[in-house]
Amino acid sequence: MTRLHLVRHGPTHAKTMVGWSDLPADLSDHAAIARLHDHLPDKALVVSSDLLRATDTASAIQGKRQRLPHHSDLREIHFGTWELRNFKEIEAENPDLAFAYWDNPGDVRPPKGESWNEVCARVDAVIDQLIVDHTGHDLIIVAHFGVILTQVQRALGVDAQEAFSHRIDNLSVTDITHHGDRWSVGQINHCP
């Protein structure tokens, strides 16, 4: 059994689509960081996306926990040419593509970006390897909205639209356990 504690990084305050851009997190809410640190298991291993907002959040909650190397495959969705643009701009440019991408996640991708199915395959592969390498441990995985939803979708066995119905707040924890032959989901979007 391996327990995953999926933590969404601290807020960036960007009002645009932020995928692979390396924006810093606002980690000034020291009380929220302390509550998150105290909520997570003391002996868990900590791993994060290689993007600054995730690595800095991981450092802020790490404490005495062992840190694993950052992993680029834990990055957020690659939004391609939509990166750092707001939804109204994207929708005005290509309303059909914007609607298809969010309303029917799957094989539709933003220009020069990746589809939801590609994100799921990328993230599933790294999570599976982390489970193989650290079976029986608690893993704190500091990542992004999309990354967390890929694992919610997989563990619940739901489609992408249902996965997207879940809210994932900054500095929240989603608990998922891998039992070897099945998944179970604890709290989703718990804000300690």
Helical residues (DSSP H) of the chain, grouped into ranges:
30-39, 52-62, 87-93, 95-103, 116-133, 145-156, 160-164
Catalytic residue among 9, 78, 144, 178: 9
Catalytic residue among 76, 83, 144, 178: 76
Contact 102, 68 (CB under 8 A): no
Question: What is the b/e burial string over 57-71, where b = at least 16 CB atoms within 10 angstroms of the residue's CB?
Answer: bbebbbeebeebebb
Is 9 an active-site residue? yes
Residue 14: closest CA among 76, 104, 92, 102: 76
Is 91 an active-site residue? no
The residues, ordered by sequence, that sit 6+ positions from 158 with a Cβ below 8 Å of its Cβ are 152
Joined together, the tokens standing for residue 156 give 């619940």
Question: What residues act catalytically?
Answer: 9, 76
